[in-house]
Amino acid sequence: MDKQPGILLSSHLLIRKCVWEVSLNPLVLTWRQIPSQKNIQQLLKVGSSRIVSVPEILAVWEIDLHSGTKDDGRWQKMSQKPTEAYPLAFTVSYVRRARKHRWRCCDVTFLCPDWALCQLWVQTIKEQLAEQTNRPKHLLVYINPYGGKQQGRRIYEQKVAPLFARASVSTDVIVTEYANHARDHLTTVAELKLYDGVVCVGGDGMFSEIVHGLVSRTQKDNDVDQNSPEEKLVACTLRIGIIPAGSTDCICYATVGINDPVTSTLHIIIGDSQPMDVCSVHHNNTFLKYSLSLLGYGFYGDVLADSERKLWMGPVRYDFSGFKTFLTHHYYEGTVSFQQATDTLGTPRDKTPCRAGCLTCLHNRRQCSKNSPDKSTADPDFTDGEYEEGWRVIRGKFLAINAASMSCACPRSPQGLSPAAHLADGTTDLILVRKCSRFNFLRHLIRHTNKDDQFDMTFVEVHRVRRFRFVPRHCQSDSERELRGNGKRTFGQICRDHPACGCSPAYSSWNCDGEILPHAAIEVGVHCQLIKLFARGIEETPVFEELPAPCVK
């Protein structure tokens, strides 16, 4: 065994009858096949080395090659036989990158010539894993058994729990019994100090519950009043993991790049961390909700409101309501005011999407901590419209008002609603679609499904903002809304149900991450990096090139 500087261990070990030079340094574990006359041609054909970064090693254990059991006595399927010269073995479990941001767990078994060397390897790798202090040891897991295709429990038992066990991550599991069970448990009785993170098995609705529970609990524990829109919220210390088991899994797409339970579990095990902004939504100094992805008034609010009246149609209701809402072509009058983020890197129109290790988020996070969020500066390029006490004010008729805190990319819209929106830069992209012809609105919508710029249209404007307010033109009192809720129809409601009628209703609804808000007049503030996820953002290209390794089992 030769030791070079920086190298912790280096030995010749056997993998499936071939001798490999295996070495470990604090950053990577590598194994390179030693060429011999016999295997040189095969090496040229298929490649002969493998590099695994130490932070992506999940576990290591000794195995008894004769009995086929692990060092903890559990049975393991053996694919290699011991030889006289290499009678002992250990297995390393690590992350392997597959296509389209998918991660898989791979095992490689190394055969050793003697007991002492085998022990040394296992011990040294374990010591390196113990240095990875960002990894969770104990997690609180909530499973929604009714999310998506109702597979949450099965996904957890078959795909997630075995990986947690392999990586020695212990869990307390709660299967939710009713909507908001997880939120209420987190806000009140959960003993958060026992855990290194909270995991939800479900979709975006379930994730939203966890965020509401954790953020509210953190504010409660720190005596912060959530009802004040100006209040600076305290960031949550526990990270959140999402095991996708919902219908859309939009947050998973935006933070991992794919909705795959195994990939998300591996991100949790290795202790990845992705900060995320959270928008607080208030009405009249009363807290309404937190939003993580999309706030939409007009088109997206109407689609959701209509689809909720057609639950019996199943998932096809979204297409139906989308088409119907497009045909009704309602516009809404009101005033939008906002504080533009003028001191930040990046704009909604640039071509740089938010990716793992995003420098824009890093830079803008520093700006957020320097500036008080309310001190917005006037936009020097702005000549049109008005300013009121540092807020830019736009009055008009809008087909849609959307605030995208992330790209909102999904399989239907691969670039998303705002392709360059950032996960953690302390801003949201406010998109205003003014009244235009049906044909032009259709052109705008179609651009979400291809690579054309959906903002390059005269009736669309987009601003990167830290706060915004919306007030509908005919500001509605709460009693009026109650009347609507009780079924006494205003003209708006009648028109909504009879699209042939030419006039637009006075109010739409806000779609807040897939839920309808009870008020049209709202104030929204972005809280920079309020939560952290067990994720790393979408990776541009794999860090380590994938090389086929013929000897890996």
Ligand X SMILES: Nc1ncnc2c1ncn2[C@@H]1O[C@H](COP(=O)(O)OP(=O)(O)OP(=O)(O)O)[C@@H](O)[C@H]1O
Shortest spacing between CB 263 and ligand X, in angstroms: 16
- Please count the other Cβ atoms lying within 10 Å of the Cβ belonging to residue 179: 13
- How many whole angstroms separate alpha carbon 236 and alpha carbon 275? 10
* Beta bridge mates, 170: 138
Shortest spacing between CB 499 and ligand X, in angstroms: 26
* DSSP of 293-331: SEEEEEHHHHHHHHHHTTGGGGGGHHHHHHHHHHHH---
What token pair was written down for 219? Answer: 């504010």
What token pair was written down for 367? Answer: 């700006």
Shortest spacing between CB 145 and ligand X, in angstroms: 6
Shortest spacing between CB 531 and ligand X, in angstroms: 17
- Axis-axis angle for helices 438-446, 317-328 (nearest 10): 140
431 in Cβ contact with 455 (< 8 Å): yes
Cβ proximity to ligand X: between 59 and 215 the closer is 215
204 is catalytic: yes
H/E element, 460: strand 460-472
Shortest spacing between CB 512 and ligand X, in angstroms: 12
3-state helix, strand, coil in the chain (%, to 5): 25, 30, 45
- Please count the other Cβ atoms lying within 10 Å of the Cβ belonging to residue 476: 18
Shortest spacing between CB 211 and ligand X, in angstroms: 12
Cβ proximity to ligand X: between 202 and 492 the closer is 202
The site for ligand X (CB under 6 A) is made up of 144-148, 176-181, 202-206, 209, 246-249, 514
Cβ proximity to ligand X: between 205 and 537 the closer is 205
The amino acid at residue 158 is Q
229 in Cβ contact with 523 (< 8 Å): yes
Cβ proximity to ligand X: between 175 and 356 the closer is 175
Nearest-CB residue for ligand X: 203
- How many whole angstroms separate alpha carbon 247 and alpha carbon 202? 9
Shortest spacing between CB 184 and ligand X, in angstroms: 10
* Beta bridge mates, 107: 93
Cβ proximity to ligand X: between 19 and 535 the closer is 535
User: Who's near 466: CB < 8 A, 6+ residues apart?
Assistant: 339, 340, 341, 373, 376, 426, 427, 428, 525, 526
- Degrees (nearest 5) of the Cα angle 187, 260, 206? 20
H/E element, 278: strand 274-283
Shortest spacing between CB 337 and ligand X, in angstroms: 31
Shortest spacing between CB 526 and ligand X, in angstroms: 22
- How many whole angstroms separate alpha carbon 296 and alpha carbon 403? 6
Active-site option among 204, 249, 272, 302: 204
Cβ proximity to ligand X: between 144 and 280 the closer is 144
- How many whole angstroms separate alpha carbon 199 and alpha carbon 337? 37
Cβ proximity to ligand X: between 148 and 346 the closer is 148
128 in Cβ contact with 54 (< 8 Å): yes
The amino acid at residue 454 is Q
319 in Cβ contact with 419 (< 8 Å): no
Looking at the chain, how many residues does it have?
553
421 in Cβ contact with 259 (< 8 Å): no
Cβ proximity to ligand X: between 144 and 504 the closer is 144
- Axis-axis angle for helices 317-328, 299-308 (nearest 10): 130
Cβ proximity to ligand X: between 117 and 201 the closer is 201
Cβ proximity to ligand X: between 208 and 339 the closer is 208
Shortest CA distance to 295 belongs to which of 44, 41, 511, 83?
A: 511
- How many whole angstroms separate alpha carbon 71 and alpha carbon 58? 16
Shortest CA distance to 170 belongs to which of 152, 143, 197, 210?
A: 197
Shortest spacing between CB 254 and ligand X, in angstroms: 12
Q: Which residues are catalytic?
A: 204
